[in-house]
Amino acid sequence: MSRSVIPKNSQADALDALTAAMGLFAGGEVRLYTNAIVLDSDVALTDLTEATFDGYMEKPVGTWFPAALAEDGYVSVEAPGVQFVATGTTKPETVQGYYLTDMAGTKLLAVWALDAPIAMGVDLLIAVMVRPRIAFAA
């Protein structure tokens, strides 16, 4: 198969279209998962175990910022940060990462692993702040 390249200006246009008001990634929900899995392009929604710690609930993704060339050299688009806070200690669990679904929660759109797992529901002062980012590979 021949190699294809998408120029950076077209990458930005594509990301903006995906995250625009009627785009595939608009209006989605950010969720946390607790199982340790290997992330690859075959990951499915059924592979993820959604968090259940006290106070947990999915959060709307918010309005995506326009695509731009990031400091790392990739064309990317980011959503506003989303914070999750435990409200009790009766159901502690360890969060491994976060994911984006459609608003109905039936379609997996993207998955991210955290740099390090975070124990939630052990201490009420612990929060998870995530910022969805989608980038084209170089």
What mean pLDDT, rounded, does the chain reach? 91
Measured CA distances, 77 to 64, 93, 103, 120 (Å) = 7, 30, 19, 28
What is the average pLDDT across 65-71? 89
Task: Tell me the percentage of the chain whose pLDDT exceeds 90.
Answer: 66
The pLDDT, as a whole number, for residue 23 is 87
Query: Which residues make Cβ contacts (< 8 Å) with residue 26, sequence separation at least 6?
Result: 19, 20, 61, 64
Domain ranges for the chain: 8-135
Please give the single-letter amino acid code of residue 55.
Answer: G
Q: Which residue has the tokens 């990031």?
A: 70
CB 2 within 8 A of CB 76: no
pLDDT reading at 133 higher than 70: yes
- How do residues 25-34 score in pLDDT, each as one tens digit? 888 999 999 9
Q: What is the DSSP string of 21-49?
A: TTSTTTT-EEEEE-S-----TT--GGG--
3-state SS class at 8: helix
- How do residues 82-132 score in pLDDT, each as one tens digit? 999 999 888 999 999 999 999 999 999 999 999 999 999 888 878 899 999
Asked whether the whole model's pTM tops 0.75, one would answer yes
pLDDT reading at 138 higher than 70: no
